[in-house]
């Protein structure tokens, strides 16, 4: 029979549970601590790999950002001053893959066009053809490059322009 005495009423559970449950949780904790001791080298190696990968990612992103900044500085310099063709060619090769690369290529093509010789126009055409494939996703740059290419191709195809002319600078 159940007792109705209030003194014998079941007491509320206390925080932390019963003694039997705490023994069970201690066993579980001891089991996992033993596993951790057995595999501590693996855990340490995994931690080192994760930290190295994170550090390498940060380093590569920083170098990429620095390279991008240098590319834009080179383009700014090329736009503001009369840069030599050789310097622009060097910058074009050095900063391939950056956001400024297409604009450096267009600046190089413009410098080659200014020289006015057939070989320079052909080189400008090659540079713009490479840049055209690079800017396919950008409608504005793509149209600009196509327009410049069309003008160069038109000049190269004009037989009257190149017949009987001496190279620039020759006597």
Query: CA-CA distance, 94 to 109, in Å (whole number)?
Result: 16
> Is residue 104 a contact partner of residue 92, using CB atoms and an 8 Å limit?
yes
Q: Percent of the chain beyond pLDDT 90?
A: 15
pLDDT in tens, 4-27: 555 555 556 556 555 555 666 888
Residue 69, in any domain of the structure? yes
Does 28 reside within a domain? Answer: no
**14: in domain:** no
How would you classify residue 37: left for phi > 0, otherwise alpha for psi between -120 and 50, otherwise beta? alpha
CB 125 within 8 A of CB 149: yes
Any domain includes 34? no
Give the model's pLDDT for residue 6.
55
**pLDDT band at residue 74 using 50, 70 and 90 as cut-offs:** confident
pTM score, two decimals? 0.61
pLDDT in tens, 116-171: 788 888 899 999 999 988 888 888 988 998 988 888 888 888 877 766 655 555 54
Domain with 108 in it: 40-161
- Whether the pLDDT of residue 66 is over 70: the answer is yes
> Cβ(88)–Cβ(112) under 8 Å?
no
Question: How many domains in the chain?
Answer: 1
Specify burial of residue 112 (Cβ count, 10 A radius: 0-12, 13-18, 19+). Answer: buried
């Amino acid at each position: 029979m159940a007792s109705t005495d209030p003194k014998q009423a079941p007491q509320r559970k206390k925080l932390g549970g019963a003694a039997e449950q705490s023994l069970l949780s201690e066993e579980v904790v001891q089991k996992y601590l033993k596993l951790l001791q057995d595999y501590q080298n693996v855990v340490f190696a995994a931690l080192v790999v994760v930290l190295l990968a994170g550090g390498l990612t940060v380093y590569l992103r920083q170098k990429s950002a620095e390279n991008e900044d240098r590319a834009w500085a080179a383009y700014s310099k090329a736009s503001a001053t009369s840069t030599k063709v050789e310097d622009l060619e060097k910058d074009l090769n050095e900063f391939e893959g950056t956001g400024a690369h297409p604009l450096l290529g267009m600046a190089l093509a413009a410098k080659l066009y200014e020289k006015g010789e057939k070989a320079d126009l052909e080189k400008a055409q090659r540079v713009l053809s490479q840049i055209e494939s690079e800017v396919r996703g950008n409608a504005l740059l793509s149209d600009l490059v196509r327009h410049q290419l069309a003008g160069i191709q038109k000049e190269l195809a004009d037989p009257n322009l190149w017949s009987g002319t001496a190279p620039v600078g020759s006597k």
